[in-house]
Amino acid sequence: MSSFDQATSRRRFLQFMAASPLFAYGGFNAFAGEGPTAGTKLSDPIMWAPLRTEDLIKSPKDAINVFDFEPVMRQNVPPAHFGYMASGVDDEVTLRANREGFLKFQLRPRRLVDVSKVDMSTEILGVKYDTPIIVAPVGGQKAFYTGGEIDVAKAAKVGNHLQILSTVTTSSVEDVTAARGAPIWYQLYASNNWEIAKALVKRAEKAGCLAVAVTVDIMGNRIQDTQRRLELTDTRVCSGCHDRSSPQTNLRRRSMYEGVDVTGISASTAMTWDFIKRLRDTTRMKILVKGLLAHEDAKLAADSGLDGIVVSNHGGRSEDSGRSSIDALPEILEAVGGRIPVLIDSGFRRGTDIVTALAMGAKGVCVGRPYIWGLGAFGQPGVERVLELLRIELRLAMQQMGAPTIKHLVPGMVRRA
């Protein structure tokens, strides 16, 4: 092909993709270098998934990888709800960086190792799980499928995954724990009112939660253009389900806020390490902080006696620093020096992604959007299949690395590209 023919073919191909109803919100127009957002990239490699509506998977067992679920969810879920899941903040640089960050690292597999049997089990804060793949906290899951967090808990039970429940869950911590059939963790959004945080934590502890992960990277409102644009395409009358007269009114519909006075509640913009100390005096649960990206903060966390850290940029949903979680992980691990366990989330989609973090020294990897794709596409069976695919890929990646157990994944197996 001449360079002219190649350019023409590429342009026609991208125009065909842009015309697909799956990408009606303009993502491929931007990718093709056309339209007002020309030059931007997609947040995930959607081109790996089916391109035509008629090629979408019809059942979870048809999925080849986790990306196959996202276009099905896009078709099933109302535009505003899909936008809530898919959106980053500002220019979504961090959202894209979470995927592109893995390109900065290369794996160094070892050979002539017996990997006929692979043990993916691991211990996190004294509890053994069959896999280091953790179900990350995601709010409002009934917006994606009627079963919401209950369906997710049942799917997590199948693979014995640790599940972390969001503060803004649409199912109660008691019901989710019962569906999971084992203790879960609770994620805490602190507010400007200590009494509210205390009430939420006390309820989670009473329900049997083993740990509370305090999110520290949401310090105010967020600019989420993708969500807003998709909301504008949603023809439903949102007031039928959402009372937007005030943030407090909407929170009262969330399970964890039942019986809690949310008058005047707002995001905490004044949280300091004193909050963590106060929390320590309030609960017997283990305490982790979720949202650290700098080694200075990691050292403070370890020095303060915290039980763990979740390296996270909130999936690109909290700030637009442009730095991926996987890129921040090495300096966090070095600062902690093995004193407390370090988990990580944001951007994990493949078994090799998970192996990279585990080899660096992470104790577990939290996955969010992929299982929500499965939930929105097929409910509980979709979540089960997403988690199964990740387990299959992790097992294969460990074999490829010459690692029969998680402990055989060591820092020497990873190098910067």
Cβ 115 vs Cβ 403: under 8 Å:
yes
In sequence order, the 6+-apart residues with CB closer than 8 A to the CB of 349 are 44, 65, 66, 67, 99, 370
Identify whether 242 is a catalytic site residue.
Answer: no
Triad 95, 299, 273: Cα angle to 5°:
85
| Identified catalytic residue from 161, 242, 295, 314 | 314
In sequence order, the 6+-apart residues with CB closer than 8 A to the CB of 50 are 56, 57, 68, 71
| Rounded-to-integer distance, Cα 324 and Cα 316, Å | 8
Phi and psi dihedrals of 95, rounded to 5? -55, -45
| Rounded-to-integer distance, Cα 11 and Cα 412, Å | 43
Q: How many residues does the chain have?
A: 417
Listed in sequence order, the DSSP H helices in 271-366 are 273-280, 295-303, 325-336, 351-360
| Rounded-to-integer distance, Cα 282 and Cα 289, Å | 16
Triad 366, 367, 369: Cα angle to 5°:
145
Residues classed as catalytic: 314
